[in-house]
Structure 1
Amino acid sequence: MESEKRRKMKEKFGLRRDIFKEFLAESLGIFVLILFGCGSVAQTVLSKGAVGEPLTIHIGFTLGVMMAVYMAGGVSDALMDYTNGQFEVTGANATANIFASYPAKHLSVVNGFVDQVIATGALILCILAITDRKNIGAPKGMEPLCIGLVIMAIGVSMGLNCGYPINPARDLGPRLFTAVAGWGMEVFRAGGCWWWIPVAGPMVGGAVGAGIYFLFVELHHPEPKTQEENNVQDKYEIITMS
């Protein structure tokens, strides 16, 4: 009876077009990424480090990315207490950086762009290695965990300059939110008009990382025999003994 109701509901409300299914899954994934990632930043900033630190931010984004991959494959009263109702983009009481990335004082625009190209290139390079079934690869179902650990590695090694946005969706959407939620257009002017760096840099870095992996690794894979090609996907699957 339950399965019959589910079948009828799926027939009535289920989406037929793949693009709409992908849109919903990606939207939910990005929501979870921002929820965990920016939530860990908010907890650290608003508590002035009492219940958070850089490592907890890295962990928050790591878990956010991991769960977002699994799914796709608001401002609390504490903010008002912290800022006394003044939403500042820069300065000691800045809170716009809870939601989007801003450059450190030592970082120039050019260096920031290079930072994003390198960090995103490293991310894509590692993702391709993790999902490459002709390489060692990762066990089936463990790919999101491995990708999350890559995010943590990038955070602990390259997070000093600007907080490693390495994803236009992670940075531009929250920045638009802050622009209309009280911080104003200063979120686009701050840091020497920094906002475009986390958008353009990851796009270039993604292409660079993919190109490097193709030229250095994928291009040189030997052509497998037919039977081996059919079995290569199962080679590294986790075997569960019942």
Structure 2
Amino acid sequence: MMTEVFGEFLGTALLVLLGNGVVAGVVLSKTKNNNAGWIVITLGWGIAVAIAAFISGNLGPAHLNPAVTIGMAVNGTLPWGSVVPYILAQFAGAMLGSLLVYIQYKPHYDVTEDTAAVLGTFATGPAIRNTLTNFISEMIGTFVLMLAILSFGLYDMPAGLGTLCVGTLVVGIGLSLGGTTGYAINPARDLGPRFLHALLPFKYKGDSDWGYAWIPVVGPIVGAILAVLVFHMF
């Protein structure tokens, strides 16, 4: 159990380091890849998911996402006793990964006056703020993620191909569905770094947007559970 929990911690830390790292590179001032665009962000996140899963998959199931962990428990493929330790490890890993991004890009944070851009390197936010549609966006994105992950398991794939498929899936979700809310589709990836944003000092620090914070937590969990229910209708 401890090996699996460490795998969730390490994998989620790497996921957020590489995922939020590409966001920081694109949106913070005076970086080499400043303003590189949405496609760069979605590709970076997809690669982040695949790399993190390849590394942590040697230690455990590499959920790296509380919504996936809860979905797997509902599916009956994960003991419920593992859910809380996994989720705690995922949140801790997400905070560590985000802290490493902050350290990596500290000079660029110091010259970035756009407080919304700074928050965007930690947590997601809506393009147009609407509680219902923002919630539905996160729910649908995670529904697709969870349903695809379960469906990949139906196929006899060579070792590692399923992990590459998940990385590609995340790119697809980002390109097709991510433009509304930034596609958190992962409570730990959003809430852990949001806490860190609230704690860290910034020269140009804005609000951590706690009024929105529940949506990328609850929406993905609901979406993952719905995906499991639909999967069992096959």
TM-score (norm 2): 0.73
| Secondary structure, aligned partner of 2:126 | coil
Residue number among 83, 106, 116 corresponding to 2:138 in the alignment: 116
Distance 1:67 1:160, change over 3 A: same
Q: Write out per-residue CA displacement over residues 65-115 of structure 1, whole angstroms, 9 at most, x where no aligned residue.
A: 1112112223221110223xxx82x4xxx31111100111x2301111111
The percentage of aligned residue pairs carrying the same residue is: 33
Residue number among 172, 177, 186 corresponding to 1:158 in the alignment: 177
Q: Please tell me whether the aligned partners of residues 29 and 111 of structure 2 are also in contact (alpha carbons under 8 angstroms).
A: no
Gaps of 5+ in 2: 58-99
Q: Distance in 1 between matches of 2:138 and 2:34?
A: 30
Residue number among 162, 165, 168 corresponding to 1:143 in the alignment: 162
Offset at residue 151 of structure 1 (A) = 0.3
Q: Please tell me whether the aligned partners of residues 27 and 35 of structure 2 are also in contact (alpha carbons under 8 angstroms).
A: no
Q: Please tell me whether the aligned partners of residues 37 and 64 of structure 1 are also in contact (alpha carbons under 8 angstroms).
A: yes
Offset at residue 169 of structure 1 (A) = 1.1
Q: Distance in 2 between matches of 1:47 and 1:214?
A: 47
For the aligned residues, what is the CA RMSD? 1.9
Partner of 2:109: 79
Q: Distance in 2 between matches of 1:162 and 1:32?
A: 22
Partner of 2:21: 39
Q: Distance in 2 between matches of 1:169 and 1:71?
A: 18
1:26 to 2:48 alignment: no
| Secondary structure, aligned partner of 2:149 | helix
Residue number among 30, 47, 50 corresponding to 1:63 in the alignment: 47
Offset at residue 22 of structure 1 (A) = 1.4
Distance 1:54 1:210, change over 3 A: same
Count of aligned residue pairs for this structure pair: 184
Q: Please tell me whether the aligned partners of residues 107 and 161 of structure 1 are also in contact (alpha carbons under 8 angstroms).
A: no
1:187 to 2:203 alignment: no
Q: Write out per-residue CA displacement over residues 35-82 of structure 1, whole angstroms, 9 at most, x where no aligned residue.
A: 111111001101476462111111111011111211222322111022
Partner of 1:98: 121
Offset at residue 188 of structure 1 (A) = 3.5
Higher relative contact order (CA 8 A, sep 6+): 2
Q: Distance in 1 between matches of 2:175 and 2:158?
A: 25
TM-score (norm 1): 0.71
Gaps of 5+ in 1: 1-17, 218-242
Offset at residue 186 of structure 1 (A) = 2.6
Q: Write out per-residue CA displacement over residues 187-237 of structure 1, whole angstroms, 9 at most, x where no aligned residue.
A: 134xxx11000100111000001111111x2xxxxxxxxxxxxxxxxxxxx
Q: Distance in 1 between matches of 2:149 and 2:170?
A: 10
Offset at residue 141 of structure 1 (A) = 2.1
1:209 to 2:209 alignment: no
Q: Write out per-residue CA displacement over residues 170-199 of structure 1, whole angstroms, 9 at most, x where no aligned residue.
A: 11111011010136793134xxx1100010
